[in-house]
Structure 1
């Protein structure tokens, strides 16, 4: 496990507006070594311009270590059609294996949830593994009942979190 701050500088959370492939390379390599393609898709979509997390309410966040290397990432997109209006999807959450167990994922989720306020009334997430489902449940997401009518249940999503309705003052 890496030291949290070998030179005294703690990792910092940023909202991503640009992607430097060199800063992302270790995280991408780690994800691919674990058989995950989500960060490759994130990088490809960013490069092509297909998804830059720029629609209202969308955001992409990353934790950077003291050297500026990305050690964790997570984002929020508007749910694409035919999804429900006011629905977002939490996606591309990944923490480098050397940095797990320090609470970065939870704080990343909290940053994304804060950015979602006022833009979305519900958020969905797809949990591919049991440990992922446990994590998202601890973050306040409830399992979606698989017995519901498929029209009412987004096929790709396993968990949902309802957000307070935004009311202008």
Structure 2
């Protein structure tokens, strides 16, 4: 398994991940493609995980788009692991890279998810539920 920092656009085999997300009913890979194509400096870091030479997962780190009065925060966004690569450590590897990168700058990271499986995954990574915020999970480092 290899973690790669993306700097010059999305990997050639990104469409495989995008199609898998769409098949699962998720559109965040479409949004990621649009953000990268627009060339806007949205992501402070964007990582891909390769497994056996194939793109297995992707995720990014941005400024928290809806900050509150608390300490500065960064948001983990556009995180997706291909269904064929789940339960093999790809998600944990990607999350670890994003968390480590984020904690180099701030002490609080946020995630917003509408999926109970994703919420359970992020809680297993050390995120705790919060309410009344623009995010539903946060990590205090």
Number of the residue aligned with 2:98: 112
The superposition leaves residues 53-93 of structure 1 with CA deviations (integer Å, 9 ceiling, x where unpaired) of: 2xxxx2111012444x4220111111135545621001111
Task: Please tell me whether Structure 1 or Structure 2 has the larger radius of gyration of its CA atoms.
Answer: 1
- Unpaired segments ≥5 residues, structure 2: none
Q: Structure 1 residues 127 and 162, CA, compared in 2 at 3 Å: closer, same or farther? A: same
For 2:120 and 2:25, the matched residues in 1 are separated by: 20
1:1-169 correspondence to structure 2 within 5 Å: 11-20=1-10, 22-53=12-43, 58-67=44-53, 69-80=54-65, 82-83=67-68, 86-144=72-130, 146=131, 153-155=132-134, 157-163=135-141
The structure with the largest strand share of the pair is 2
Q: Give the conservation status (yes or no) of the 8 Å contact 2:81–2:90.
A: yes
- Give me the whole-angstrom Cα distance separating, in 2, the residues matched to 1:109 and 1:46: 20
> Quick one: distance in 1 between partners of 2:128 and 2:57?
23
Alignment-derived partner of residue 4 in structure 1: none
- Cα RMSD between the aligned structures? 1.8
Name structure 1 gaps, 5 residues minimum. Answer: 1-10, 147-152, 164-169
What stretches of structure 1 move > 4 A for 4+ residues in a row? Answer: 81-85
Provide the rounded CA distance (Å) in 2 between the counterparts of 1:114 and 1:138. Answer: 16
TM-score (norm 2): 0.89
2:96 and 2:57 map into 1 onto residues whose CA distance is 14
CA contact (8 A) 2:10 2:36 kept: no
Deviation at 1:22, TM superposition (A): 3.1
More helix by share: 2
The CA distance in 1 between the partners of 2:92 and 2:28, in whole Å, is 19
Aligned-partner Cα distance in 1 for 2:122–2:10: 28
Q: How many residues align?
A: 140
